[in-house]
Amino acid sequence: MARTSKKKQQQQSAWVSLFGSCLGGSSGKKKAGSGKVRPGPRSTNKHGEDDLERGSVASAVAGQRMSFTDVMSAASDQELSVSLVGSNLHVFTVGELKAATQGFLDSNFLGEGGFGPVYKGSVDDKAKPGLKAQSIAVKLWDPEGTQGHKEWLSEVIFLGQFRHTNLVKLVGYCCEEDHRLLVYEYMAKGSLENHLFKKFPPVLSWSTRLNIAVGAAKGLAFLHDAEKPVIYRDFKTSNILLDPDYKAKLSDFGLAKDGPEGDDTHVSTRVMGTHGYAAPEYILTGHLTAKSDVYSFGVVLLEILSGRRAVDKTRPNRERHLVEHMRSWLKDPQKLGRIMDPALEGKYSTSGAHKAALVAYQCLSGSPKSRPDMSKVVEDLEPLLSLIDDGPSEPAMSVASQEDARKERTARRKNGERESSNGVHRHKARSPKKTDRRRGPGKSEEFWEWHMPGKV
């Protein structure tokens, strides 16, 4: 018994020393250590499958995760220390991550979001005890960006405890002086946004798009159905990452919120997100529910179907806002050809595409109560995988689509969007201390925030 108690104290002590000083966002003098949060017992089902791999919450105490609110309001070091036991997160120093990315080299630059730039790196099996050799993606905090310490902490708390096949894996983090970094598994195919809108070859087939939609829906359904539900709040194509097999994984939990529990119907927050994806009732009231995510999923599903951005200022005024322009068409099978991405060249199952369009139509309802739950969305979309036909569909569909393609090419030329021969833009080298905030050509997403007094 004494040995067990001593081991527990060591676990708590290690967790507090490695992470506890970061909870307040202060620039403490302690440097992050090179250890990792010690894992707790990992449960298996009757078939011997690992619960974490099948998709469950990392168990800290009696199988129940600590919410973001729990961690921020924890009354003792003990409560804080157990919050990520079982997560297997590794703690890195800035020096280690600088070495892993070759000094945040220009050629390793992957992209940039509201939190800061992201670089590719690699670690060998000697870097950390228990860490296998692998490619990683390192996200640096940009002090001039739209997100900060709270979003960094949110990412660690949520992804540190969740494991699901459709959520990106958080390998570890760095909290050293004023530096805040996040370390993820490397997703070889990049974001869905790049494949849909940056015209990186090859064009995503209908079967691949549908698989991505189903995978992303499963990720959201897992969050919503958790014992302590989570609202993702920033669901969009740039936050859907793809592995080498094009499996979809949700990333960037900086804006995620604990969902309402008990008799509560919603969570009141500042209105934050990306223009074109947020549910109308959330924008108007700041009331956040799981149905807000469902609306955002509907926007992304429409983007997957049409190959068009949620907001595209290069198009005529009446076509700039995708949902306003196309939602009414989604329930009309006669207008399917006007919706579908011309890049598909008519190669899709007509019945499958129409049923997917009806799901998008329901998700985009102006009334939250009329939208389906994400578990119902999965139930409706998954059977469509058996209807996949990537062969040519009716000729009439590609006639209208070719005209849309011509208009799109013209608009892109007028907008001056440049694409390099290998589909990658060159960027100036960045350092952890100072980041170039200039966006690359064609970057149309606008991150916005409406402040509401007293909301967090």
Highest mean pLDDT among 10-19, 98-107, 288-297, 386-395: 288-297
Residues 124, 144 contacting (CB under 8 angstroms):
no
Task: Point out which residues pair with 191 in neighbouring strands.
Answer: 241
Which range is most confident: 26-35, 169-178, 202-211, 256-265?
202-211
Q: What SS3 class is residue 61?
A: strand
Per-residue pLDDT tens digits for 108-142: 999 887 678 899 999 988 878 888 899 999 988 77
pLDDT band at 236 (very low <50, low <70, confident <90, very high): very high
Q: Give the domain CATH number at 216.
A: 1.10.510.10
Higher pLDDT, 11 or 19: 19
* Whether 141 and 125 share a structural domain: yes
Average pLDDT over the chain, rounded to an integer = 74
Number of domains into which the chain is organized: 2
For 126, the domain range is 27-40+51-185
State the Cα–Cα distance between residues 205 and 211, nearest whole angstrom. Answer: 10
pTM across the whole model:
0.72
Provide the pLDDT confidence category of residue 276 given band limits of 50, 70 and 90.
Answer: very high
Verify whether residue 404 is a known catalytic residue.
no
In a domain, 98, yes or no: yes
pLDDT confidence of residue 281: 92
| Per-residue model confidence as pLDDT tens digits over 380-405 | 999 999 986 655 554 333 333 444 44
The residue among 5 and 326 whose pLDDT is bigger is: 326
Residue 201 lies in a domain: yes
Q: Are residues 154 and 298 in the same domain?
A: no
Residue with tokens 């969570």: 267
State the catalytic residue, choosing from 234, 252, 312, 341: 234
Say how far apart CA 86 and CA 133 lie, in whole Å.
Answer: 20
Return the CATH number at 147: 3.30.200.20
Q: What is the pLDDT of residue 210?
A: 97
Same-domain pairing of 154 and 236: no
Most confident stretch, 162-166, 333-337, 410-414: 333-337
Average the pLDDT over 183-197 and give the result: 93
pLDDT at res. 15: 37
Tell which wins on pLDDT, 370 or 425: 370
Residue 44: pLDDT band by 50, 70, 90 thresholds?
very low
Q: Are residues 257 and 371 in the same domain?
A: yes
In a domain, 367, yes or no: yes
* Both tokens assigned to 437: 């905030």
pLDDT band at 258 (very low <50, low <70, confident <90, very high): confident
Q: Look at residue 286 and give its three-state secondary structure.
A: coil
Q: Which of 163, 34, 191 is nearest to 100 (CA)?
A: 34
Q: Tell me: do 222 and 110 sit in the same domain.
A: no
